[in-house]
Each structure stands twice: as C-alpha cells, then as structure tokens.
Structure 1
C-alpha cells in the first residue's frame, strides 16, 4: 500500500503505475531496476527520469519534437485558450446595465449571452470525434476561425435573437480549446512534464475568464457593448495566424511495443497476470537517420488525411461508455462542477455587487483583479509543485509512480470552500468590498491548482482516451451552467447574497469529498478499466492503411 492507496487484487502491474525514477538508492533502500536499463531517459536535471511514454525513433513523433517546436505549439494554444476563456463571461459586469438598455430582466440578458454555453456543450462531443478522425490541427483551425467570425457577427447583431444565435456559434468554436488541449499535452509531453503544462493551460483559460470581464466593463460603460466584441476579434485574428503557422498535426500513430516473452508470463499466477506498461523500446533496430525529417512547409497542411478507419458515428458514440468509469464522474465533480460554481461569480457579479455595494459596470469589472491575483499565486505555487511533488513521492515509494499522487493537490479545493463561506459570513457583517475580492482570489486559486491536478490525473489514468472523458465532463458542465443562467440572478435577488454563497460553499465541499474514495480506490479502478476493455470500446480504433 503506497501512502494509503489500496493495492489491486487482480493485477500485479496496473497500467498507470510506472517506474518514474531510476536512482539507485531511495531512502537508504537499494532498488533493483535492471529492467529499466534499456529505456530512454530525460536530459539535464531530468536525466534520472525514465521517459513515459517511451518515444519512437521517428522525428515525426511529437515526443521527439525540438523544444522550440513544442513550446511554439503549446503557447499558441495557450494564447487561444485565454481568448476562449474571455468570450463566455466577459459581458457579465454589464448585465444590469444591458437589462435597462434592452428593457428586459437580468436573467433574460444572462441567458441570451449565455447561449454560448449551449453551443459549447453541443459541439463538445462532435469536435471530439472530428479530432479522432481527422486530427487536431484542422479542428483547432476551424474552431478559432469560427470564434473570429462569430465575434464580428455578434458585434453587428441588431437584436437579442441575433445575439443569441451568434453566441451559440461562438460556443461551437470554443469547444476545442476547452478539451482537446489536454489531449495535445498528452501527445507532445512526457509524464513528468505534463503537470506544469496543465497548470499553464488552466491559467490561460482562467486568466481569460477574469481579465475578459474586467476589460469589457470599461468598454460597455464608456463606449458600447458592441465595441467589446470588435476589440476581441483583433487578438482572435492573430490567434488564427499563430495556430496556422505554429501548431502542426500532433496526432501520431505509434507502433505497439514488443510484447514480453511468453515464458515471462508463465511464472505469474492467472489471477495475478500482469499488464506491464513498461516494455522494451519499440523500433529498437531502426536507426533514427533512416526516417525522413518532415519539412516545415509540409507541416502547414490543413488536411492531413484520416487517423482512424472507424466511422464518424461510431467515434461519436465512443465517449459514452466512459460513463461507466468512476474517473469520469470524479473529473465531473472536482473539475467540471467546480468550474460551474466559479463561473457563476462573473455571471452574477453584476447583481451581487449592485445589491451589496451599488457598483457600476466598470467598478464590477475591477473586482476581477482578485481572480488574477489568485491565478498568478496558483501558477507560481502549483506549476513546479505538481511535477516535483509527484517525483518526490515516487522516490519515497521506491521509485514507483502512482497517478493517485496527483490527488493530493486536489485538497486545494478547500480554499474555494473557505472563499465562498467567508464571503457569505462577511455580507452579514458589512464586510468591505476588498474582503469580497479576497474571497474571489481564494476561489480562483482553488480552481487553478486542483483543476490542473485533476486533468493531469485524468491524462495519467486514461491516456489517449482522456479527451473522451473531458468531452463528457465539459458537455455536462456547460449544460448545467447554461441552466443556471435562467435563474441564478433571480435567486440572488430573492434569497439574498448570503444564502446563495453558502449554497456554493456547500456544493464545493461536497465535490471535494469525492477525492477521498478516488484516492483510496483509484488503483483498483484503473485495474477494472484495463481488465474490462470491452466496456469502454465502441468499434476498434484501427489506423487507416497508408
């Protein structure tokens, strides 16, 4: 039992559990790692870390890309993700002002501009199957281009009906950057590199969620609500260019590693038959120079063919069996629903700060500075912590890495509980506005750290199938959040700010409690998944013939 994680009763080697460190001595105990002698390792300060997954010898393998190429790809997507995060909540500070301009209720304005969530949810599953079939590059390009066009459409919309329709199409474009990036991280980075990348991706989305309303509040207060969409279309145009030039296709069909000899399995009892993820390096006899380096121009192709022989319909059905995986429900609770509670703050900020402090739109927008502070603190703390912490725990577990080590960092959800509850208590004691901003800081800190840990845990447990789980989680999350836009502001006006925030605190605490059973039984869950592959497969994902 590693730090309270229950061992599996069926498999000796559970996929996900891996030899992460090949240091000869771990806390005074000699560790035998002769079987790791032929495996590839990192470089520099990570020279002792065995690379998981093991890269091929093909230069087209994204794991073999140069550092600058990986960084250009990742940061182009991170920039687009920040714009993606800004689009949904940026109108929030102006809801009360816009309700007066259009002569409708605040909930009517919120549900009209919130229709972006409906488009986001509906297209979440479709873009998933498009990425599996045709690769990530074409989906990224199409998504960001659609965001760019629909922003211009929204800016010239003459009515609430046109606004609602344009926001639905904005949601279509946003979907890829909220789920596919996790898969791209899994495709181009090794296990010991993914934690910090997941944090940066979460930071990009969260910074957009907080900075978008801040900047838009001044525009809607001093210019017009349409000008905000004209302004955001400028960086979206730049994002289309950066993705075209710096995000090549990341989908790569890697040959299966050689299987262990049958004699090795014969010594293991049938009930303890192992499924060993650490195998000999594939393509061992093929020299790297026998492969042809792709030219930069060839990587600018928008169309790269198909990567699966399965039909789009069968691929579309593929995520739904993952509803049987406990990991899916865990991710939905600790990542998806936590995002819902935090996203309700910008949606309802106009009502909350108008009732409590009589703020105008620009003043409401400034309260988002608390979110920026929380996000910056979170990325400084959790960026190295999630990667270094797991390596540190692996060393103290005789060099063995367990994906459940990531769940330690999900305990930061308690900062969100304290933030919502503290804000609720403060409203009953005439707390100044700076106290409310500090509580927003805590909620954002909680989301970035725990959210990144949850996504990284998902990547470690489900690997290439992580995008299916994220698609289900994000679909459900956005449907729930869209439903809240119809009554959330009205509920605050009826029940009061204090009661509403206490409800958020209780819901956040309930979601956090899901981390306990997942940590304890996570290894057995991974064993169950690998022992019942038929439950999670709708059609074989065979690569197309070349």
Structure 2
C-alpha cells in the first residue's frame, strides 16, 4: 500500500475501501464487477465511479435531482444554524441575565453545561429512532421541541423556569447537530460528501458565532427574553419547511453483488438470468444498447426500475416504514461498542477536543472582555463573534471542496481504489491554525494586548474546527457507513467532556489565568490531532480486523 498505509492480506476487501476511479490497472480483487456496468458521475466526474452505487428506482434518494437534495440540505442546515445559535446566544449578556435572575455567573454557565449534557443524552434516544423509523419523524419532532422551548424561554421569569426551557430545548437540538451527517450520506456520493458536510458545518458554526454576534445587540436593546422570541419566530417559519420539503431519506438498498446476480464474469449477462438480474443501470451518458446478451457488457434491467415514483403527497407522510429490523436494545448498545473502534475513538477525540474548547470561549468571553483592560459593553462582547463567523466561512469554503479533490486525486494515484484514510491529509491545516488560535488567545489575554489579538485568535480556533470537521465526519461516514448513526452517537460522548469543562472553567480561569488555561487546552489539542498519524498508518488494518471479528459481525450487522 502506498504512502505508509499498511495493507491487508492480498485479495481481501475491507469495508470502506471502494472503487472510485476508472483505471486499467485496477487490482483483480476489485474487478469482479466490470467498471463499464457501474454508474459513473457526469461532467468533470465522468470517470468517477459512483459510491454507493444507486439502484434504478426513482425513489432512491441517490437518484433525486441535485436541487432536491440541496434543498433538504439547505433546510436542515438552516435549522442547524439556529440550533447552533441557541446554545451560546445568551453568553454576551451573562452579567445582565445573572443579575435579572438573581444568580451568579458560575450558576448561569452551569446552565449551559446542563444543555450540553442533555444534548449528549438525547442522542441515545433520537439516533436509534432515526435508524429504526427514519430521519423525517425525528426532524419534525425536534423542530416542534425547539419551537415550544423558545416560547417557554420567552416567558421564563425565574431561574427554575429558565433552566427548564433550556433543558427542553436541548432535547430538540441533538439531531440537527449530528443526524444531518447521516442524511448527507443518504443523499450524496462519496466524492461529494466533504463539500456538503462543510456546508452543513458552516451553518452550524456560523450559527454558534453569528448568534452571539447578533444577540449582544438584541439583549442590550430589547432584553434577553427577545432572544427566545426571535428563535420561536425562526423555528415557527422553519417547521413547515421541514414538513413540506424534507422527505424521508432513509432507503434500503440491496447489496451490489445481489444486484449483479445475473452477470457471469467473462461472458457478460447470461441469457437465462438476464431477465431476473438486478444489475446497476449504467449512466445515461455512457450507455450503449446491445441485443447480444453474450456481448460484454449488456445493459439489463436495473433494480427498482419499475417502482412507481412517489408523489409529493406521499413524501409528506411522517412515518414511511421500518428501516432496520435490529432490536432497539441492540441499536442502543452499539454506540458503547463502536466507541472503541479506532477510527470512531479518534473522531471522538478530535471533535471533542476542538468543539469543547470552542464552547469554552463562549463561556469565558463575557468574564474576560467586560472587565479591565477591555471594558466591552454587551453589544461589543457580541461583536467578538464576528471574527469566528468570518473565519468559519473561510475555513468551510476551503476545506470541503479541497478534501473531496484530494480524495479523488489520491484514489486515481492508488489504481482507482479509494480508502477512507484519504480524508486525513487535510488535518495538517487545522493542526497549524488551531495551535495558533489556542496558544495565541491565552498569550494575548495574559499580556493584555490590543483587543484585535485575542479576537483574531478566537477566529483562528473556529477556523481550525471548520477544517477539521471536513475530515472527521466524511472519514466516519466512509469507514463505517452502515453504522453511521451509532458512530455519531459515540462521537458525541464529547458532550460529557464539554459538560464537565464548562461546569468549572470560569473558576479555573479565575485561579490560573488565561495563559495557563489555554496553554493546557492548546497542548491537549495538538496532542489529539497528532493521533491522526497512527490512524493513517493502521486505519485500514483496523477496519479489516473489525470486519473479520465474529462477535462484531454478528452483533453489529443489521438483521
């Protein structure tokens, strides 16, 4: 295997390893289905083999027109943006809110910690439900929860009611933070995913930073209750859009070998089996009609080609079927097992050590910038978030398309074979940017530089998160696609880490100072990111051993 990735025994295939580019020197173990029978991309991607291979059914989400897929992504992305804002939106007004509710800033920051904890716990409910009954019911239920929680928060008059509204809202936040990636896997091919994940992540992270940016002015001029009122208005507008234009994207797709049951390598499609075969239909641009079933390769009827296309009214159904026959108990237990898969544990460390540290910024910014030497007002404290907002846009705009380009280029250099580890080289970028952000923030605060110093470093840390997620989430989707729901639940165990840190970070900051706090956080971040090196080397072998473990095969595979 090239570039330091350790290979598996010859002739063995590994989950996640797929043919992504047409090459004449394709290894023999990947040539059991001729490339000309497989569906390809179009335009600049005409020589890219689509993975996963769609069926011929018009109801297969992979076959939906691009505008319909992107509309689903836009609506779920906008919802994710508001969810992103919902968590830290009150941080610029912590001092004002704590005085109004007659509590300390520490108690108020602990309310944020409880929100983070409930998000992590609710994933153990909603993601198994999404795997069992589909994504659509979960999206609708959580949109309703967010709408009602916002109304509740707008009328909260004491800390108990305030905390109750925040916890109830946290239940609805979880799917938009983590289930959207599974929807992206439902809708898009491997070579398109990083760009779309970057788009979703842009909505989420811009919501986190942009919410604080706007909320400072709203809290200062209208009062903090109006933050909840505006959230209720926005979710009230998004709820009907989710109902009308986010149909079910879960789809049961038979294995590729089953769809090629009638193909006999070396002869083409046997006349006896051609009528019964469920082969993948070739691309419109590369199809050539032939009447000789023995000539290679013939075009035969694709699986699902005769399915009647679902009407718009059919797409409005909330429950459309059961998408997993595995028991809920097994689905619930799986995240605890998959957490220890090397790639998933790496994703937990990467996502946790970055996003948790970013949440720390939102918790401590008010206590840093509203006192000497900066003396910012509430609205000025909110303006700090303009930096991460801009840097997040820049990071997502670069990282997603660049990651997809790198993976296709590496696959072509690797005889047309794609490995999920090809998502990892881009990690070099967030390693450098993130280290500068975390170390720089602590140093500039400690030495009381001009406010532009820490604000710039705050933006760099957010840009690092944007670039990092463009590698982490596509890697998990590609390496463990069949268990993506469980994998993302496991990764979001980082919420428990965030809960613990936000619970005491203000005390830690007061006792140790910004330099020591962010020196520790930055060093942990660098150490965690460097674990990408062993994953690059051993990742493929780890996937191979997992796939060949008899217990894991039995317990983790679908019934």
**Counterpart among 523, 546, 551 of residue 529 in structure 1:** 546
The answer to which of 480-489 and 527-536 deviates more is: 527-536
The alpha carbon displacement at 1:412 in A equals 2.4
Q: What's the CA shift string for 1:117-176, capped at 9, x where partnerless?
A: 122111111101111111100000001110110111111112111111111111110111
C-alpha contact 1:119 1:167 (8 A) present in aligned 2: no
1:317 matched to 2:333? The reply is yes
C-alpha contact 2:23 2:415 (8 A) present in aligned 1: no
Distance 2:216 2:393 in 1: 21
Find the counterpart in structure 2 of residue 342 from structure 1: 358
Map residues 372-411 of structure 1 onto 2, 5 A cutoff: 372-411=389-428
1:9 matched to 2:26? The reply is no
Find the counterpart in structure 2 of residue 290 from structure 1: 306
Distance 2:202 2:35 in 1: 35
Find the counterpart in structure 2 of residue 226 from structure 1: 225
The alpha carbon displacement at 1:24 in A equals 5.3
The alpha carbon displacement at 1:444 in A equals 1.0
Find the counterpart in structure 1 of residue 170 from structure 2: 171
Cα distance change of structure 1 residues 490 and 310 upon mapping to structure 2, 3 Å threshold: same
When normalised by structure 1's length, the TM-score is 0.91
Find the counterpart in structure 2 of residue 465 from structure 1: 483
Look up the SS of the partner of 1:324 in the other structure.
coil
Find the counterpart in structure 2 of residue 306 from structure 1: 322
The answer to which of 181-190 and 483-492 deviates more is: 483-492
The alpha carbon displacement at 1:25 in A equals 8.6
The alpha carbon displacement at 1:344 in A equals 0.9
Task: Point out 4+ residue stretches in structure 1 off by more than 6 angstroms.
Answer: 31-34
The alpha carbon displacement at 1:195 in A equals 0.9
Look up the SS of the partner of 1:37 in the other structure.
helix
C-alpha contact 1:183 1:466 (8 A) present in aligned 2: yes
The alpha carbon displacement at 1:32 in A equals 8.8
Cα distance change of structure 1 residues 227 and 64 upon mapping to structure 2, 3 Å threshold: same
Distance 2:374 2:390 in 1: 21
C-alpha contact 1:367 1:437 (8 A) present in aligned 2: yes
- Unpaired segments ≥5 residues, structure 2: 266-277, 282-298
Q: What's the CA shift string for 1:429-466, capped at 9, x where partnerless?
A: 33111111110111111101111211001111001311
Look up the SS of the partner of 2:88 in the other structure.
coil
Find the counterpart in structure 2 of residue 429 from structure 1: 447
Distance 1:161 1:140 in 2: 27
Look up the SS of the partner of 2:256 in the other structure.
coil
The alpha carbon displacement at 1:324 in A equals 3.0
The alpha carbon displacement at 1:10 in A equals 6.8
C-alpha contact 2:55 2:302 (8 A) present in aligned 1: no
Look up the SS of the partner of 1:14 in the other structure.
coil
CA RMSD of aligned residues (A): 2.5
1:245 matched to 2:248? The reply is no
1:76 matched to 2:92? The reply is no
Distance 2:8 2:306 in 1: 42
C-alpha contact 1:333 1:511 (8 A) present in aligned 2: yes
C-alpha contact 2:58 2:305 (8 A) present in aligned 1: no
The alpha carbon displacement at 1:243 in A equals 0.8
Distance 1:389 1:512 in 2: 19
Distance 1:331 1:170 in 2: 26
Distance 1:404 1:19 in 2: 14
C-alpha contact 2:116 2:499 (8 A) present in aligned 1: yes
Cα distance change of structure 1 residues 224 and 47 upon mapping to structure 2, 3 Å threshold: same
When normalised by structure 2's length, the TM-score is 0.89
1:146 matched to 2:163? The reply is no
Cα distance change of structure 1 residues 315 and 18 upon mapping to structure 2, 3 Å threshold: closer
Distance 1:479 1:248 in 2: 32
Map residues 112-261 of structure 1 onto 2, 5 A cutoff: 112-258=111-257
Distance 1:347 1:470 in 2: 25
The alpha carbon displacement at 1:484 in A equals 2.0
C-alpha contact 1:315 1:538 (8 A) present in aligned 2: no
The answer to which of 164-173 and 354-363 deviates more is: 354-363
Q: What's the CA shift string for 1:178-205, capped at 9, x where partnerless?
A: 1111111111100011010111111111
C-alpha contact 1:310 1:539 (8 A) present in aligned 2: no
Distance 2:53 2:326 in 1: 26
The alpha carbon displacement at 1:23 in A equals 5.2
Look up the SS of the partner of 1:258 in the other structure.
helix
The alpha carbon displacement at 1:422 in A equals 1.5
Distance 1:440 1:416 in 2: 10
The answer to which of 477-486 and 507-516 deviates more is: 477-486
The answer to which of 283-292 and 115-124 deviates more is: 283-292
